[in-house]
Structure 1
Amino acid sequence: MSNTHVYKLLTLTDWARAQADGVTATALDTADGYVHLSTRDTAAETARLHYAGQKDVRLLEFAVADLSPLKWEPSRGGALFPHLYGALDISRATRSWTLMLDASGAPVLPEDF
């Protein structure tokens, strides 16, 4: 894959837990056995589909080179999504943002994304 960065979205509660534990551990990730990540091209749709109406969603950016090995697996509409089979240490994040909601309640990605 040519993506240099991948992204993790976290609810306010999941972000608080990640800050306390140093790693992300969402219910979905735990149930599926891997960390769900997004690419630059899929992050907005993931935010809209799974985080609509939730205030203060956190978006974390990670360099692909720091998360090896990622597995790129088909998901929504056949698009390849990065999955991390291991712990996602938040100290590896290169940038992070707290997302605002648009008028419809969908989280809006930052301008410098």
Structure 2
Amino acid sequence: MLPEHVYKIATFEEWDAALEKGTFDGAPVDLADGFIHFSTAAQVCETAARHFRGRDGLFLIKVATASMARHYRMEASRGGDLFPHLYARLPVSDAVIWEEMEMRADGGHVLPRWFVEEEGGA
């Protein structure tokens, strides 16, 4: 079942370009795979650690799924877990909030306060 909100980690450059354009077409990996990769709240920490460790200049973006629900699919990925994939461009108007993920000295990330408060740090 598709959650009400999904999460995307994007670079400052990717998201700034999307804000200017009005749609997010995806990161290079998304464009190569033919869909935009998202995470559920429970998957954000592992996604950040696995794919973004040591990378600075990242936003965590909370996205409402209702307006584009028919274009999302929950599909098996790492370890058989179901991940939300969007088979369309993301209207930036679907973004509820976004904030920088600060990088710690060890290369991990500090999740935004709103995410920790809403999701319990997932």
Paired AA for residue 72 in structure 1 = M
- Aligned pair count reads 113
Tell me the TM-score normalised to structure 1 length: 0.90
Answer yes or no: is the 8 Å Cα contact 1:44–1:108 preserved in 2: no
- The corresponding residue for 1:26 is 27
Moved more, 86-95 or 18-27: 18-27
**Matches of 1:57 and 1:16 in 2, distance apart?**
11
Counterpart of 1:55 in 2: which secondary structure?
A: coil
Q: 1:52, CA displacement in angstroms?
A: 1.4
- Are 1:65 and 2:66 matched, yes or no? yes
Q: 1:26, CA displacement in angstroms?
A: 1.1
Answer yes or no: is the 8 Å Cα contact 2:65–2:94 preserved in 1: no
Moved more, 30-39 or 3-12: 3-12
| 1:15-35 Cα distance to aligned partner (Å, 9 max, x none) | 232223222231111111111
Paired-residue identity, %: 39
Q: Which runs of at least 4 in structure 1 moved beyond 4 Å after TM superposition?
A: none
Counterpart of 1:67 in 2: which secondary structure?
A: helix
Q: 1:76, CA displacement in angstroms?
A: 1.0
More helix, by proportion: 2
**Matches of 1:53 and 1:12 in 2, distance apart?**
15
Gaps of 5+ in 1: none
**Matches of 1:11 and 1:81 in 2, distance apart?**
20
Gaps of 5+ in 2: 116-122
- The corresponding residue for 1:80 is 82
